[in-house]
């Protein structure tokens, strides 16, 4: 199935009615064709997706237990380890005019810096992806509108031990310059926090968790979509958790049931 953190977020945003463009790269192979086709069918503008004949489409394979929890995963990200966007005037203008830009830490650190420098200040939302890759975002944390982390990733960014409290991690990220933090806590829910607010939401009850793959991507998508629609922080977090719930109930990374009406009814 088509996946990838950035691609998943793009699909979720498009399904929620946000005009979305994907800037990425795929291999000249069947998985690349599948990824492009699924993105386009979801309503994503894929005109800036580049096709590489040097590397295969990046892949991620995950094994889950009967409760949908991740047991082990392996990935092949050679596609992005050395990737650099082929900039042109149209793409530069598109990025600069965007209401929000989302980056994930699968990208090389140098490219992340390049993208952030090309954007309006504090219009970039970032997903840390993993403990190891999260550190690629350290040089740009102070330029981000929002950074999404779990506790393990927050510890890696701040240098705190795993025994640190949620509030300690949030305050440390704020000291690094983060404007907003979206802290995911699994079955405990999530926290959306800034310098002057902190909001918690409990995890939604799901009758049957099929897979946790993509749930965090959906959470960030819901929060960002609600921000773009002008919702307050409580509503943003509600959208995020509801979007994550849709993802938990399917065996793919993104749920076909996700749409604007499902957030507002």
Residue pLDDT, tens place only, 36-81: 999 999 999 999 999 988 888 887 676 767 766 667 777 777 777 7
Q: Which pLDDT belongs to residue 212?
A: 84
What are the residue boundaries of the structural domains of the chain, listed by start? 5-264
Q: Which pLDDT belongs to residue 62?
A: 65
**What does the H/E/C string look like for the chain?**
CCCCHHHHHHHHHHHCCCCCEEEEEEECCHHHHHHHHHHHHCCCEEEEEEEECCCCCCEEEEEECCCCCEEEEEEECHHHHCCCCCCCHHHHHHHHHCCCEEEECCCCHHHHHHHHHCCCCCCEEEECCCHHHHHHHHHHHHHEEEEEEEHHHHHHHHCCCCCCCHHHHHHHHHHCCCCEEEEECHHHCEEEEECCEEEEECCCCCCCCCCCCCHHHHHHHHHHHHHHCCCCHHHHHHHHHHHHHHHHCCCCCCCCCCCHHHHHC
- Write out the chain's pLDDT in tens, 265 residues: 677 899 999 999 999 999 999 999 998 989 889 999 999 999 999 999 999 888 888 876 767 677 666 677 777 777 777 778 888 888 888 898 899 999 999 999 999 999 998 888 789 999 999 999 999 999 999 999 999 999 999 999 999 999 999 999 999 999 999 999 999 998 899 999 999 999 999 988 877 888 888 999 999 999 999 999 999 999 999 999 999 999 999 988 899 999 999 999 8
CATH number of 5-264: 3.40.1190.20
Q: Which pLDDT belongs to residue 67?
A: 66
Q: Which pLDDT belongs to residue 7?
A: 93
Stated pTM of the model: 0.91
């Amino acid at each position: 199935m088509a996946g990838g953190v950035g691609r998943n977020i793009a699909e979720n945003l498009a399904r929620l009615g946000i005009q979305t463009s994907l800037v990425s790269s795929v291999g000249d192979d069947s998985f690349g064709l599948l990824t492009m086709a699924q993105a386009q069918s979801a309503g994503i503008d894929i005109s800036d997706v580049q096709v590489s004949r040097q590397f295969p489409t990046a892949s991620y394979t995950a094994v889950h237990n009967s409760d949908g929890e991740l047991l082990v995963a392996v990935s092949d990200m050679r596609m992005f380890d050395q990737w650099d966007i082929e900039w042109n005037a149209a793409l530069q203008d598109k990025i600069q005019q965007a209401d929000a830009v989302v980056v994930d830490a699968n990208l090389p650190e140098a490219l992340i810096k390049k993208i952030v420098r090309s954007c309006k200040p504090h219009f970039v939302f970032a997903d840390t992806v993993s403990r190891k890759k999260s550190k690629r975002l350290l040089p740009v944390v102070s330029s981000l509108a929002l950074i999404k982390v779990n506790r393990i990733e927050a510890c890696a960014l701040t240098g705190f031990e795993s025994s640190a409290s949620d509030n300690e991690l949030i305050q440390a990220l704020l000291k690094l310059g983060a404007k907003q933090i979206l802290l995911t806590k699994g079955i405990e829910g999530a926290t959306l926090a800034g310098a002057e607010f902190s909001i918690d939401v409990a995890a939604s009850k799901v009758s049957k968790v099929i897979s946790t793959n993509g749930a965090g991507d959906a959470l960030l998508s819901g929060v960002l979509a609600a921000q773009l629609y002008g919702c307050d922080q409580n509503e943003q977090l509600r959208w995020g958790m509801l979007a994550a719930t849709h993802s938990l109930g399917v065996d793919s990374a993104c749920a076909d049931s996700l749409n604007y009406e499902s957030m507002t009814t």
